[in-house]
Amino acid sequence: MFPSLSRVPPPTDVLTFELSNKLKGRTEGLLSRLIKTNLRTRYVRDSPVFSEFLKAIESSCGDAATGAGYGEVLDETLLEAYRSTIPLTTYDSYEPFVAKFLEQPCKHDEVKDLFAPGLPYFIAVSSTTSTTSAKFFAKYRDPPGVSNPVSSLGGKTCSVYSLTYRQVVEVQGADAEILARFPVCLSSTGRTRMLNGIDIEKDSSTLNSTMPNNTSPVAVSHIRNYRSFLLMHALFALADAKLQVIHITFSTVLLDLVRYMEDEWDTLVGSIEKGELPDYEGLDHVREYLEPKFHPNLSRATELRTIGIATDNPGWLVKIWPELKTVICIASGIFAMVMPKMRHYLGPDVLVHSRGYGASECFVATVYDPYDLNLFKATHDDIVEYLDVSLEQTAASLVSAWNVVAGRRYEVVVTTRNGMWRHRLGDILEVVGFDPCDGTPILKFVERRNVAIRLTGSITSEKQLADAIFATQDTLGQVMEFTVVVDDRVMPRGFGYLVEVQGAVGPAPELACGKLREVLCLSNQGVRETFNLGTLGNPTIRILQPGTFSDFRKWKVALAETGVGQTKVPVVLWDPVVQQWMFERVIQEV
C-alpha cells in the first residue's frame, strides 16, 4: 500500500550509525533466510555458477547442497561464502534451467525445487522491449508480508488488468498424470492472479464476477485484443459516474485508452443508452458473461452526450467523472514524456501516483513519496545490491545497501526469493538518500544500461537520447513518444529519431535537428568528437502519423499473445521488421 497521502520526510543524505546498523541487520537477516531457503535447489546444485559457493560451505559444514550438516551452517558462514564466491549472473546462466518448464513433456522430477522449494505459481515472460526474444522467470507463491505493488487507494476504480496468458505449463508425474498446471504470462498478470487467488483452474468460476470496487467485470480481463480490451474497460467506466480512481500499468496505455475512447465516443455512449455491448473484435468468448452486467442507462448517456468530446479543454476526464481523484500508473523515465498530454486530459486537481518500480525479474521498490513519480524506496522482500557504474563490472564492485552513497548511480543487482542470485537487472538508479525512519535507500530511475547506440566508437545512452529530443520541443512541438534508429540512408550514419508530436508540428521544425546535435554534443564528448571529425552524420527527425505508437502496442500484443500490460516502445529500435513498420507511417521529415 502507499505509505500515506501526507507528505513524507525528505530523504537524509547520510546514514547515522544507528540507522546503518538497523539496515545492515535487516538486510543480512533476509539474505541469510533466502540462502537457507534456496540453497538445496537444483539450480544451485547443478549450475557451475555456484561451484565455489558450495565448496566454501562444504569445507566448513559438510555437503550443504544435499542437506548433510546443513543444520550446522552458521549465518556468518553463509554470508561470507555468498559475498566471496557468488559472481554477477545474467540470464545466460538462468535460461537453461527455466527452459525445463517449457519442455514437452514437463517432468515433475526435473522441475521440482528448481529455483525455490516446490513449483512456481506462474512463469513470467518479459515484454521483449529491448530484446528480440522473450525471457522467462519462475515465480513462486509469496510468503506472508510481501510488498504489494498493485495497491489501491479505495473508492470506485477502473482497474485495467489482464488475466490472459501465453500458454499453460502442465507438470507430469512418473505415470504421465498431471500434478500441476500454471500459466506463462506477464508478471503483472501473474501477480494479479496470485494476490487475488485467481488460479487458472478458477477462471471459469470467476468470469461471472466483479472484483470489489471495480467498474469492469473480471471477464473484460480475458480479452486479448488490445484495442477492444481498453475500450471495454472504458465502456464500463463511462457507465459509472462515481469513478474515483484509474489504475493502469503505464501512462502510455492510459493515453491509448483515452484516444480510443475519443474515437469510439458515439458508439460507447450509444451502448450505454441501449444497454447493448458494441460489436468489437475479440469479444465473442466473454460476451455471455458481460451482457448480464451491462444495463441500459439513459440518464448517464444523456449526461455524456451533453459533455461531448471536449478534449480541447483541460480536464475532460473530470467532466466525465466529477469524483475522479487519482490515477495510479508508471509515469517516470521514458513514460514521463506523455505526462503533459495526460495532465491536459486530467486537469490540475487529479493526483497522479506511481505504481512503484519493478521488472519482470522482481519488484524492486515501493512508492516513497506518492506525489513524486520517480522516487522509490527499496523493498525488503528480496536483496538489492548496488553495482557502482564507475567501477569494474564484477562482483567485487558490489555495494551493500548500508554502504551506498547519496548522489551516485548504481546498476541494480538482485537476489530473490524466486531463486535468482546476484542477477543484473540492467537498470541504472541514482541513490537520492535514505529514509530517515529506517535507513532504507531512496532511489530514482535513470535509464536502462543496455539501451544505447554505439556509433563510430562512442556510446550514447538512453537518457542522453531522450534528453536531446525533449530539448527540441520549443521548435519541433510537444513530443509525445519517440524511438531512435541508426539512420544509414546516407553516409556517414547518424541518429535517426522517429517522433510522434501532439497536434501540429511546432513553429520552427527546421531548427530541431541542429538543436539535437547541440545537446548530444554537450552530453557526450565522444559524439562531439565524431561530429567534428565528420565520421558521424547529422541527426534526423521523421514525424510519424498520429496514433503510430498506440498501433505499435496493439500490434505487439497481438504478436506476443501474452496479454496487455507490459507493452513498451523501445528507446532504441533495432528490429528491422519493426523499423520498416515505423517507416511506412512517416508523414514528414524535418
pLDDT surpasses 60 at 71: no
pLDDT score, position 564? 64
Render 227-268 in DSSP notation, one character per residue: HHHHHHHHHHHHT-TT--EEEEEEHHHHHHHHHHHHHTHHHH
pLDDT score, position 153? 60
Confidence class for position 65, pLDDT limits 50, 70, 90:
very low
At 106, give phi and psi (nearest 5°).
Answer: -90, 110
Residue with cell string 549465518:
75
pLDDT surpasses 90 at 358: no
Handedness of CA 184, 189, 191, 192 (dihedral sign): negative
pLDDT score, position 451? 65
Provide, rounded to the nearest whole percent, the portion of the chain with pLDDT above 70.
92
Instruction: Kindly list the distances between the CA atom of residue 88 and the CA atoms of 22, 400, 403, 417, 494, in Å, as whole numbers in the listed order.
Output: 26, 14, 18, 17, 34
- Return all residues near 398 (Cβ < 8 A) that are at least 6 apart: 88, 385, 386, 387, 413, 422
Instruction: Kindly list the distances between the CA atom of residue 130 and the CA atoms of 53, 166, 571, in Å, as whole numbers in the listed order.
Output: 32, 19, 8
Residues 377, 258: Cα–Cα separation, whole Å: 31
pLDDT tens digits along 521-530: 998 888 888 8
Residues 344, 366: Cα–Cα separation, whole Å: 27
Closest CA to 419 of 114, 72, 14, 91: 114
- Return all residues near 337 (Cβ < 8 A) that are at least 6 apart: 466, 470, 479, 480, 481, 482
Closest CA to 406 of 12, 10, 23: 12
- pTM, entire model: 0.83
pLDDT tens digits along 125-176: 986 554 457 899 999 998 876 666 555 567 899 999 999 999 999 999 999 9
Lowest mean pLDDT among 296-305, 454-463, 479-488: 454-463
Q: What's the gap between Cα 256 and its chain centre?
A: 17
pLDDT score, position 5? 54
Cis peptide before 149 (omega within 30 of 0): no
pLDDT score, position 296? 97
- Return all residues near 393 (Cβ < 8 A) that are at least 6 apart: 88, 387
pLDDT score, position 502? 84
